Amino acid sequence: MMEYFTNLWMSDLFIPHGHCYLWKTELVGLHLISDLTIAIAYFSIPLTLFHFVEKREDLPFNWIFSLFGAFIILCGTTHLLEIWTLWHPVYWLSGTVKAMTGIVSAYTAVVLVKLIPQALQLPSPAQLAATNQALEQQIRDRELVEAQLQQVNDELEARVAARTLELEASMLLTQNLAERMTLATNAARMGVFDWNIVADKVAWNEYHAKILGYTFGAAEYSYADWERRVHLEDLPAVKVAVELAMNTGTDYSEQYRVIWPDGSIYWIDAFGRFYYNDGRPVRMTGIICDVTERKQTELFLQAQTLKLAKTTALLERRNQELDQFAYIVSHDLKAPLRGIANLSEWIEESLAENIDAEIQEYLNLMRSRVVRMGSLIDGLLDYARVGQTEVSLTTFAIEDLLAEIIDSLNIPASFKFDLPTNLPPIVTNRLLLSQVFANLIGNAYKHHDRTDGHIQITAQLQADLWEFTVTDDGPGIPAADRERVFDIFQTLVERDRQGNTGIGLSIVKKLVHSHGGEIAIESELGRGTTFRFTWSQGS
């Protein structure tokens, strides 16, 4: 082997290649230039291939280019040795390089044969161009989709941001509502409970524990803790109500008693609602409140109502007895009065022209007293019946009512009336309001000190309340007598004058009060009197 490497550089045994060309300058130059040109070309090609492979790391089968580069370099080297052997006959070296070139060339050819089927599967430029166009279209489509996705993403982000703000606002609102609810339940001293049915745990607030007579402190209680406080007489009904609400999905509402450890009893109002998971009740929330004072009041009111019902029944019996008594009094008292009146007429007819003036005066006085007594009895009956008759409502014009009353009283034309006009219709009992106006207008006329008096009537509707006034320009009423005129049997003139019974204004006051109104007097001596009263619309 050492001898072989020594012979590689031996040239003494051989003649230079230039002798074969007879050292002709033209021929030697031709071979020199040709081999040099080929060598330069062979060495430049691998450099280009190596640069291409280095830049294209994604190139398939890039190792084949390195193999080609090695083969071409060896080929170029053989041509350089052809130039060198023109003057230096190192034919062993030249042959060795050619042998290496042959080996590399043969290996390259074998590998290339095996590689061709795989290389044929590589797309052609046209295919690459079509693929590239398709890829470009896909890129454009993808960019469009990405733009759309970006737009959708922007919209989603905007929606998420808006939804986040809504959720934050909702959470803030929920927190505020929870705080308000807590404040409201605390202010109302309501107990709040949350029963986890699956775990049999009940969360209470402080007032819930206090209402049931527990010392608040434990984070959770149980159903049994609540059950042992319920009054034994109420417990069965309460448990039935709970089960009914649980099975039907309706709200639970019940009132029952609880017993504290000290034996004191309290009334509770409870309300709750069940929540379900796959049809199974898993939770119940609700409130309780102490209604002991209200319940005691209700029981007291029930007792009072029963007592009032008994009293009302007694009053109804007394009213019936009073009506019966009034009828008897009317019949039994009026019969003797009619007899006295008839007797006076018989005496007057019997004496005829022989009756003297004094007896005639006594007879007239007797008959006037009989008439006044009859009016007094009728007035008492009317006063007793106020508020006992069924009220029938009608709609009518006040102007028409006043005109009818004035016409029925036969007031002389010398009296002047100032009446209201353009009033809305009134809805009330026409007869009773007519009775009030007839009394007030009749009194204004009868008690006037002149025959040319003036009576003014006004009316005004305020909401559902009418206000009426009846004003005259008569002598007026002294201040000391203004309230007394409404007392029964009270009159400011002689009883025998003008048939006064002292009952009319008492009836007026009673009628006004029975229709939700008030009546008052405004008077000044020498300047007249005003009766002002109110009357409910629709009463």
Sign of the CA dihedral 217, 222, 228, 229? positive
User: Distance (Å, rounded) from C-alpha 73 to C-alpha 38?
Assistant: 11
Co-location of 410 and 525 in the same domain = yes
Q: What is the DSSP letter of 484?
A: G
Co-location of 397 and 511 in the same domain = yes
Co-location of 212 and 91 in the same domain = no
461 bridge partner residues: 466
pLDDT of residue 144: 87
Within-domain flag for 165: no
Co-location of 396 and 532 in the same domain = yes
Question: What's the CATH number where 226 sits?
Answer: 3.30.450.20
Co-location of 422 and 519 in the same domain = yes
Cβ proximity of 86 and 73 under 8 Å = no
pLDDT in tens, 167-192: 877 777 656 655 666 655 565 567 88
CA 535 to chain centroid, in Å, comes to 41
* Maximum Cα–Cα distance across the chain: 217
User: Distance (Å, rounded) from C-alpha 293 to C-alpha 8?
Assistant: 129
Cβ proximity of 78 and 101 under 8 Å = yes
Range of the domain at 422: 391-536
How buried is residue 323: exposed, middle or buried, by Cβ count under 10 Å (0-12/13-18/19+)?
middle
Residue type, 97: V
Within-domain flag for 158: no
Within-domain flag for 283: yes
Mean pLDDT of 70-90: 78
Q: What is the DSSP letter of 17?
A: G
Co-location of 104 and 199 in the same domain = no
Co-location of 512 and 416 in the same domain = yes
CA 513 to chain centroid, in Å, comes to 44
User: Distance (Å, rounded) from C-alpha 307 to C-alpha 518?
Assistant: 30
Of the ranges 96-110, 311-325, 443-457, which one carries the lowest mean pLDDT score? 311-325
Residue bearing the bigger pLDDT, 369 or 172: 172
User: Distance (Å, rounded) from C-alpha 312 to C-alpha 318?
Assistant: 10
* pLDDT band (50, 70, 90) for residue 38: confident
Within-domain flag for 8: no
pLDDT of residue 455: 94
Q: Flag whether pLDDT at 75 surpasses 90.
A: no
Within-domain flag for 150: no
What is the per-residue burial (b if ≥16 Cβ within 10 Å, else e) of 251-284? ebebebbbbeeeeeebbbbbebebeeeeeebeeb
Mean pLDDT of 103-124: 71
Mean pLDDT of 8-37: 76
Mean pLDDT of 515-536: 90
Cβ proximity of 41 and 49 under 8 Å = no
pLDDT in tens, 199-216: 888 887 877 888 888 877
Number of domains observed in the structure of the chain: 3
Within-domain flag for 451: yes
Q: Flag whether pLDDT at 121 surpasses 50.
A: yes
Arithmetic mean of pLDDT over the chain:
78
Of the ranges 176-180, 241-245, 446-450, which one carries the lowest mean pLDDT score? 176-180
Mean pLDDT of 54-72: 69
pLDDT of residue 423: 92
Q: How many CB atoms lie within 10 A of CB 13?
A: 9
User: Which residue, of 296, 327, 358, is where some domain finishes?
Assistant: 296
User: Which residue, of 296, 314, 342, is where some domain finishes?
Assistant: 296
Of the ranges 10-14, 325-329, 438-442, 488-492, which one carries the lowest mean pLDDT score? 488-492
Within-domain flag for 523: yes
Co-location of 505 and 419 in the same domain = yes
pLDDT of residue 359: 73
Contacting residues for 476 by C-beta, under 8 A, at least 6 apart: 523, 524, 525, 526, 527, 528, 529
List helix spans (H) across 121-193: 125-187
Q: Give the SS3 label for residue 369.
A: helix
Cβ proximity of 534 and 466 under 8 Å = yes
User: Distance (Å, rounded) from C-alpha 477 to C-alpha 484?
Assistant: 10
Alpha-carbon dihedral of residues 344, 347, 348, 352, nearest 10 degrees? Answer: 180
What percent of the chain has pLDDT above 70?
A: 74
Co-location of 100 and 201 in the same domain = no
Within-domain flag for 139: no
* pLDDT band (50, 70, 90) for residue 456: very high
Tell me if the pTM is above 0.85. Answer: no
* pLDDT band (50, 70, 90) for residue 495: very low
pLDDT of residue 483: 73
Residue bearing the bigger pLDDT, 4 or 84: 84
Co-location of 205 and 82 in the same domain = no
pLDDT in tens, 49-59: 777 767 666 66
Question: What's the CATH number where 450 sits?
Answer: 3.30.565.10
Q: What is the DSSP letter of 474?
A: S
List helix spans (H) across 386-526: 398-408, 430-446, 504-514
pLDDT of residue 437: 93
Mean pLDDT of 43-53: 74
User: Which residue, of 241, 263, 296, is where some domain finishes?
Assistant: 296
Mean pLDDT of 238-263: 90
Paired tokens of 194: 């949350």
Co-location of 532 and 447 in the same domain = yes
pLDDT of residue 162: 85
Of the ranges 21-25, 238-242, 531-535, which one carries the lowest mean pLDDT score? 21-25
